[in-house]
Amino acid sequence: MNPGLYRLTINYQETYINILANRFHPWFTNVTAHQERDFIFQEDGASCHTGGYARWWKETHQIRGFEYWPAQSPDLNPIEHVWNALERRIERKRSSIKNLEQLKVALREEWERMDDEFADRLVRSMKRRCEAVIKAKGGATEY
């Protein structure tokens, strides 16, 4: 199961913690139970990710992450490309979406249609992305 999220509610710390607790943590626990290596949870610097309650919750549940990660930086946050692709797909359906419930249905349908290979390519590109950011001394890159 993928810990997919609705972007509509991700800006609120309490909602974010509920998503972590109910969707991410069970998935993460299952994945890490079969691995003999450390995992680092990568998320951007959005306030719901970095607030005191969120930091406390992740620490309490032994979810390690980076101290700081820039928000909305597609160079280092491949999920931004996923959100953009999802947004483009929803935009094509815009005229048929009349209310929040229809939007949620459309988001879920489009999320399920996302190609795993697209996500795999983004993950595989991280080494090149990091190298490009280092070469650009933290400036903009082609990503």
Q: 């959005």: which residue's tokens?
A: 46
Residue 79 pLDDT greater than 60, yes or no? yes
Tell me the mean pLDDT in the region 32-49.
82
Report yes or no: 82 and 114 within 8 Å, Cβ to Cβ.
yes
- Closest to 96 measured CA to CA, from 113, 110, 77, 112: 110
Residues 123 and 133 in one domain: yes
Residues 117 and 101 in one domain: yes
Q: Which of 70, 100, 118 is the last residue of a domain?
A: 70
Residues 82 and 116 in one domain: yes
Listing DSSP states for 17-61 in one string gives HHHIIIIIHHHHHHHHHT-SS---B-----HHHHSHHHHHHHHHT
Give the least confident one: 31-35, 71-75, 89-93, 94-98: 71-75
As a whole number of angstroms, the distance between CA 29 and CA 31 comes to 6
- For the chain, what is the largest distance between any 2 Cα atoms, rounded to a whole number of angstroms? 48
Residue 2 pLDDT greater than 90, yes or no? no
Range of the domain at 109: 72-143
Residues 90 and 56 in one domain: no
Total domains in the fold of the chain: 2
As a whole number of angstroms, the distance between CA 124 and CA 119 comes to 9
Would you say the pTM of this structure is higher than 0.85? no
State pLDDT tens for residues 10-27.
Answer: 458 888 999 999 999 998
